[in-house]
Structure 1
Amino acid sequence: MSLLLSSKLKKDNKKPLPKISTLIANTLKISLPAAIETLFIGLIGMADTMMVGNYSTEALSAVAISQQPVMITIAAAIGINAGVIAIISRRKGENNKEAANDCLRQSLIIGFIVSIVMTFIALAIANPLLRLAGAKDETIGLAETYFKIVSLGLIFNYIRFTITAAQRSIGNTRITLITNIIANLVNIFFNYCMIHGNLGFKEMGVQGAAIATLIGNGVAFVIALLSVYRSKGFLSIRIRDNWKINFKTWKNIFTVSSAAFVEQIFMRIGFFVIAKIVNELGTEQTAINAILGNIIALSFNIADGFAIGAAALVGQSLGEKEPNKAFAYGRISQVISVILAITLVIITNVFKVPLASAFSNDSNIINQAVKLLPLAAFVMLPQSIQWVTTGILRGAGDTKYTARTSMISVMIIRPIFSYTLCYIVGLGIIGSWIGMFVDQTIRCVFNNIRFINLKWMKINV
């Protein structure tokens, strides 16, 4: 039990911690549905990539090139929702339902406005943005088609992300699990119908994959909206509610979210540069990297689930004025994520051949992916600890610190390592993965130092 309590807190520990079995049970109750959800989303994403990859190498490369530009368009939503999670989880701990729902309504207004603006920008700059991302003549047409169609659903994503972030922040992770499972199954169904032309549908390739994604996002939007509309739970919105702009609430949201928003912008720029470094290696290398990325992402998906759970539990515990419990939940989340990451490293190495083979029918691409996968898999370990610890700090509202570490590591250190190792040293794709390992390790160390020194507990939200 003493391992779950910081030495700095032991002297001030007036209220005893619950039993360790209770803490673990509470962690799993909140985090496990979130981890299953994010893992399921990752598996669906893998299935999506497999369908596109088995259509053609050019199609796989085009969709892979589009991913970072797509992530740039939703960076604002991710930043805003860091504030939503911190604020609403704290209000949940305080049992302040009115303030929590006011935050939700105002966040939805912000998300709606930003999504409209981002849609117009995305459609206007699609071609030059994708060219900048590394799209070649043989892939630019497919990449632009995919990117433009997916961008039409930005309003669905912004509203849905805000609602699911709010639900997660109060521990209602089952709702978001159901939302994403149904939506992604819809996506897979229409992928099957539209990519290759099954069940009477026209064969549309990459265009079909994009339309299927758009439909899936639309379904997720509807389910998420229904989960809070006229709900009898802690979070509830109605048409007759006060939807006037509340600048005081906006200020509170932006105060917490601004650092996370800036973090997302700079992170996306960094990821964009890294993607370009890899994409410039050629269409085949881009396809191989997409295969590696999809497989390694499974570890991130699980860690993301525990980061979501940790953020909610830490925020609620701080709202209840129980910092010792907040620390304990954080530590338990870290330990569980590491155990799962080690398990995934082993599974990835044992099943590397069937995993790589599922993404392509090109033997050359499969063989190269199989050779590189064991090395890339070791990224899972620092990545899992780093991301869960980031969730802990964000749940406490310590977004400025995580923003600084991410900006320095992702935008500066990782691109420098990746470019040097890929081109100057001549390691190719694996150089990019070594750069990622260095980045994740640096963030893991510095975020854990912050977690241990407890400065995140002193932030007012």
Structure 2
Amino acid sequence: MTSSECEKNKKKNKLLMWLKNPTKADVINIAWPVLVELLLGSLFGMIDMMMLGRISDNSLAAASVAAVGMTNQPLFIGISLVQALNVGGTAMVARYLGSDQKDKIETTLKHVMLLSLLMLAIPLSILGIIFTDSILNFMGAEADALQAGRGYFKVVMVGFVFQSLNMSMSAALRGIGETKTPMKINLKANFLNVIGNALLIYGLLGFPKLGVTGAGISTALSNIIASVLLFSYVIKGKSIVKLNIKKRFKFDKDIIYNLVKIGLPASLEQMALRIGVLMFVKIVAGLGTVVYASHQIALNILSLSFQPGQAFGIAASSLVGRSLGAHELSKAENYAKETRRIGSMISTFMAIMFFFFGPQLVGLYSKDPEIIKNSSLALKIIALVQPFQSSQLILAGGLRGAGDTFWPLVGTFFGVLLVRVSLAHVFVKILGYGLAGAWIAVFVDQFVRWLFVYARFRTGHWKYTKLR
């Protein structure tokens, strides 16, 4: 055997030993389906934006991209509130699995689904449809973006009701570490969404040419399809997470207590985040439709970079919650550290891609040289954000899995509401740094949030959070 072959065998054996480590294997087994689902979901979202950006009329294309960005921000408030409730669901399901209280998993899922529908999804959807113009005007939409976004917003708010059901069922399945089923179902729905977008945006194969409204219709339909597929899966009873719709439901005060204890700080965190982002978006929107379209493209690409942190954060939530339920405290800490280590490696690779290949990535969305210039500069700053963003997302996922949601709230409050909004106002409005100034504010915000979450994780107090 030659020396080069020996070297190859050594590297192969090292990789196999690394993968055989039980902690790493558990992390990767749960995280990879979530990562694939989120990455491909983001890629499908990027394709949607590319389709709108390539509408033949350049001014209509810019207005459509800007309109989607402005309508997505208030929609994300609703999504974030549902996600906050689901944080409690994931943590509780993981704890009940670890402590072998599997009988409580079904009733937890029912509570989460009903509360998210009755308290959040349906009321917010109705308000969004009634006050569409007021919401878009508040977001700073100019006349062209308002005209383009009105129909889109109304349609996606209908789809939001089904999206909330989809999210609740996926969260429960992830709590037990079953991440492949949500991945397969959501990828099918996203693939159909892309096909629907092509048909309805451009009017292909005899379908009506509906532009940005067609994109909204396709998105709503894909949410309905995903909900139906997930619901049919859990009522079949093949998983630990199951629903028996014939079984009488009654509210359980202990489950409500746990959901409030975990979900309330998470909800307040998401509210602080979304209010801060809304204020931030209004500052950027004041720079005009073309600059805002550049900003939206940068955000769309940034959403891709969130995915490793979110995927490994979900893995951390499930594994930490399960370990604490089984009273294995050191194992919970090891899982959190390992998820952070692997997720950060992936995020670093993405940062390099954003820094060196920004113009090529932005060129997939738009041919406008001004948009390419602005968005590429934002991507260089985004690359610097990556290490702090990834670490913060993953460690916060571990804290949430433990049911310790207060300190992520504090970090978000200071980072987004105080630091990001204040600095964006100074850099954009006072110093005139434009889009670059806005993204520098994002960088400082992520660093501040990382400091709070990392400091809390180091104390180890999160390992002793009690649930009923």
Q: Under a length normalisation based on structure 2, what TM-score does the superposition of the two structures give? A: 0.92
In the TM superposition, what are the counterparts of 1:51-70 in structure 2 within 5 Å? 51-55=51-55, 56-70=61-75
C-alpha contact (below 8 Å) 2:291/2:374 kept by paired residues: no
Report what 1:301 is aligned to: 307
Report what 2:6 is aligned to: none
Between 379-388 and 361-370, the greater mean CA deviation after superposition:
361-370
C-alpha contact (below 8 Å) 2:351/2:382 kept by paired residues: no
**Structure 1 residue runs without a partner (length 5+):** 1-17
Q: Distance in 2 between matches of 1:176 and 1:303?
A: 18
C-alpha contact (below 8 Å) 2:313/2:397 kept by paired residues: yes
Q: Distance in 2 between matches of 1:244 and 1:456?
A: 31
Report what 1:402 is aligned to: 408
Between 162-171 and 118-127, the greater mean CA deviation after superposition:
118-127
Q: State the 1:249 CA deviation.
A: 2.3
Residue among 228, 238, 246 paired with 2:234: 228
State the SS of the aligned residue for 2:439. Answer: helix
**Given the alignment of the two structures, is residue 101 of structure 1 paired with residue 115 of structure 2, yes or no?**
no
Q: Distance in 1 between matches of 2:348 and 2:125?
A: 40
Report what 2:44 is aligned to: 44
Report what 2:150 is aligned to: 144
Task: Flag the 1:372–1:410 CA change in 2: closer, same or farther, 3 A.
Answer: closer
Report what 1:74 is aligned to: 79
Task: Flag the 1:67–1:19 CA change in 2: closer, same or farther, 3 A.
Answer: closer
State the SS of the aligned residue for 2:204. Answer: coil
Q: State the 1:20 CA deviation.
A: 7.6
Task: Flag the 1:37–1:233 CA change in 2: closer, same or farther, 3 A.
Answer: same
Amino acid across the alignment from 2:69:
A
Amino acid across the alignment from 1:80:
L
Q: Distance in 2 between matches of 1:227 and 1:66?
A: 32
**Given the alignment of the two structures, is residue 25 of structure 1 paired with residue 18 of structure 2, yes or no?**
no
- What fraction of aligned residue pairs are identical, expressed as a percent? 31
How many residues get paired?
Answer: 444
CA deviation string 1:202-249 (max 9, x = no partner) = 111011010011011111111221221121321110221222333442
Q: Distance in 2 between matches of 1:362 and 1:96?
A: 57
C-alpha contact (below 8 Å) 1:376/1:430 kept by paired residues: no
Q: Distance in 2 between matches of 1:373 and 1:407?
A: 25
C-alpha contact (below 8 Å) 2:200/2:209 kept by paired residues: yes
In the TM superposition, what are the counterparts of 1:412-423 in structure 2 within 5 Å? 412-423=418-429
Q: State the 1:325 CA deviation.
A: 0.7
In the TM superposition, what are the counterparts of 1:64-213 in structure 2 within 5 Å? 64-114=69-119, 115-213=121-219
Report what 1:352 is aligned to: 358
Q: Distance in 2 between matches of 1:296 and 1:120?
A: 30
**Given the alignment of the two structures, is residue 377 of structure 1 paired with residue 378 of structure 2, yes or no?**
no
Amino acid across the alignment from 1:102:
T
Q: Under a length normalisation based on structure 1, what TM-score does the superposition of the two structures give? A: 0.93
Q: Distance in 1 between matches of 2:232 and 2:385?
A: 38
C-alpha contact (below 8 Å) 2:378/2:439 kept by paired residues: no
Q: Distance in 2 between matches of 1:376 and 1:233?
A: 40
- CA RMSD for the aligned pairs? 1.5
Between 362-371 and 286-295, the greater mean CA deviation after superposition:
362-371
Task: Flag the 1:35–1:19 CA change in 2: closer, same or farther, 3 A.
Answer: closer
Amino acid across the alignment from 1:66:
T
State the SS of the aligned residue for 1:138. Answer: helix
State the SS of the aligned residue for 1:153. Answer: helix
Q: Distance in 2 between matches of 1:221 and 1:164?
A: 10
Q: State the 1:351 CA deviation.
A: 2.5
Q: State the 1:365 CA deviation.
A: 1.5
CA deviation string 1:36-93 (max 9, x = no partner) = 1111111111111111111211111111111111111223201111110111110011
Q: Distance in 1 between matches of 2:110 and 2:398?
A: 25
Q: Distance in 1 between matches of 2:216 and 2:146?
A: 15
Amino acid across the alignment from 2:298:
L
Q: State the 1:385 CA deviation.
A: 0.7
Q: Distance in 1 between matches of 2:421 and 2:394?
A: 23
Q: Distance in 2 between matches of 1:371 and 1:450?
A: 33
Q: Distance in 1 between matches of 2:82 and 2:285?
A: 26
Q: State the 1:273 CA deviation.
A: 0.6
Amino acid across the alignment from 2:131:
I
CA deviation string 1:317-338 (max 9, x = no partner) = 1111111111111111111121
Q: State the 1:375 CA deviation.
A: 2.5
Q: Distance in 1 between matches of 2:144 and 2:289?
A: 9
Amino acid across the alignment from 2:117:
F
Q: Which runs of 4+ in 1 moved over 4 A?
A: none
Q: Distance in 1 between matches of 2:133 and 2:249?
A: 37
Q: Distance in 1 between matches of 2:269 and 2:389?
A: 17
Amino acid across the alignment from 1:385:
S
Greater RCO structure (CA 8 Å; 6+ sep): 1
C-alpha contact (below 8 Å) 1:108/1:162 kept by paired residues: yes
